[in-house]
Amino acid sequence: MAPRSALRSRGLVLGALTAALTAAFTPAPPLTESTPTPLPRTGFETSHGARWTSEAEESAFLATVARASDRVRVDRIGTTAQGRPLRLVRIGAPAPARHDGAPRGTSVLLICSQHGDEPAGREACLATVRDLAYATDPATRRFLSRTGVLVVPTANPDGRAADTRGNADGSDINRDHLALATPEARAMAAVLRDHHPGTVYDLHEYSPTAPYYVKDLLSLWPRNLNTAERVRRESAALADDFVTPAARRAGFSTGVYGIWTDPVTGAPVRQVAGDGQERILRNTAGIKGAVALLVETRVDPLTDAEKTDPARTNRRRVTSQLAALKGLFTFLDRHRGRIAAATAAARTAALADRGPVHLGGADNDPPAPDRVLTRPPRAYRLDAAQFARVRPVLAAHGVTWLRDPGGGATVPLRQPLRPLIPLLLDARADYHLVAGRPVGE
């Protein structure tokens, strides 16, 4: 007999999310006088996958869900350059920060469609919001009583409206999680700062390169070497032990994002993406002490039927994302204690202010010796002009500082975001914002 915890997890993934796995394939039945009020459906679902949910449909859908469920709250967390809202949906148990800034409870953040031309993750997120909001099965209710599910359903509304990778200014938001130059990245940084999610899950799509890069669903953990080791291990476990098996059980092939593999032997051939850049969300989240994972769905038609009917391709793209989400929710339920321990250990290590800081490299690409601060400075001193320039960014990340009499500031490393600070302020870092003066190196 399976352990009771395993049975509860199966109940969770087979209960609340089963509807989302089939909704896109099932036309709405005709209404009769005896038909109960149907659950809200997205534009994608009502069109049977023929088109993606519009901005207006998303707004109406979320408003309906929030009105119907007391476990859902929708907040506006920002505004794009073209005036579109950036929304955060909160479901289940709240997980506010304690007075000392440490997280309380278990929470997960879903970031959907940072790239506007990758809409399948957004559709999966919207369907998941609805199914968690309306779930009545005991396993899901128990899960939500102990877990805060945070969802940014459309992280790039202007790009989604234009069907472009970048935002209205052409910026790639997923290369802006360090500098926070875009309103979209600033909004997401504020969610990380204010809610301290223990897990960050980033939904994307990719175009394959046959025959080396053709899996239905790819995933990748934080490769940045400033990610605490226990956080990296839990991130890899999320990919290898939960998301990958869940996708395979649903009939999808899986692989590691950014790695071409030999079609016969499966051996790695070449790395084409997925490095340790600190400005990419999965890496930034890992550096900040959160378990993190990137998931990518294959976008091209796979069969003759999909080639003649794009809606089939669209449904398969969304269904593969939903299958992976089942793995995520099972992970959250089974690894609740391990996630909390890993994130707490990362915070403790940062506050101890010991150990190297890596300015380059990745977990599969050792850095050159001159890219490692073996004895990092105790602080960085900023003059008045430097501080004026970076103060909003430091505040958005949650970095603290001490004001100097002349209008500048000193930023100590002994704080929860210690691994991030040199990447922002050290002249030797690839994407530094200003060249602060090291103190006590």
Report pLDDT digits (tens) over 54-74: 999 999 999 999 999 999 999
In this prediction, residue 105 has a pLDDT band, given cuts at 50, 70 and 90, of low
pLDDT of residue 225: 98
pLDDT of residue 17: 56
Q: What is the pLDDT of residues 174-212, one digit of tens each?
A: 999 999 999 999 999 999 999 999 999 999 999 999 999
Residue 205 CA to its chain's centroid (Å): 13
- What is the fold of 4-346? Aminopeptidase (3.40.630)
In this prediction, residue 93 has a pLDDT band, given cuts at 50, 70 and 90, of confident
Task: Sketch the domain layout of the chain as residue ranges.
Answer: 4-346, 355-439
Rounded Cα gap, residues 328 and 336, in angstroms: 12
In this prediction, residue 219 has a pLDDT band, given cuts at 50, 70 and 90, of very high
State the Cα torsion 328-329-331-333 to the nearest 10°.
170
Residue with tokens 């003649």: 308
- The one-letter amino acid code at 221 reads W
Lowest mean pLDDT among 26-35, 81-90, 216-225: 26-35
Cβ atoms of residues 378 and 414 within 8 Å: yes
CB atoms within 10 A of CB 305: 10
Rounded Cα gap, residues 286 and 233, in angstroms: 11
pLDDT of residue 407: 96
Residue with tokens 């989604």: 160
Structure tokens at 315: 């449904």
Q: Which has more pLDDT, 170 or 26?
A: 170
In this prediction, residue 300 has a pLDDT band, given cuts at 50, 70 and 90, of very high
Q: What is the pLDDT of residues 340-351, one digit of tens each?
A: 999 999 999 999
Backbone phi and psi for residue 423, each to the nearest 5 degrees, phi listed first: -65, -25
In this prediction, residue 94 has a pLDDT band, given cuts at 50, 70 and 90, of low
Sequence-separated (6 or more) residues with CB below 8 Å from residue 378: 353, 412, 413, 414, 439, 440, 441
Q: Which helix (H) or strand (E) element contains residue 425?
A: helix 421-425
pLDDT of residue 16: 54
pLDDT of residue 144: 94
What rounded mean pLDDT belongs to the chain? 91
- Per DSSP, helices labelled H in 196-309 are 229-237, 244-249, 281-287, 304-308
Lowest mean pLDDT among 144-148, 203-207, 316-320: 144-148
Rounded Cα gap, residues 385 and 88, in angstroms: 34
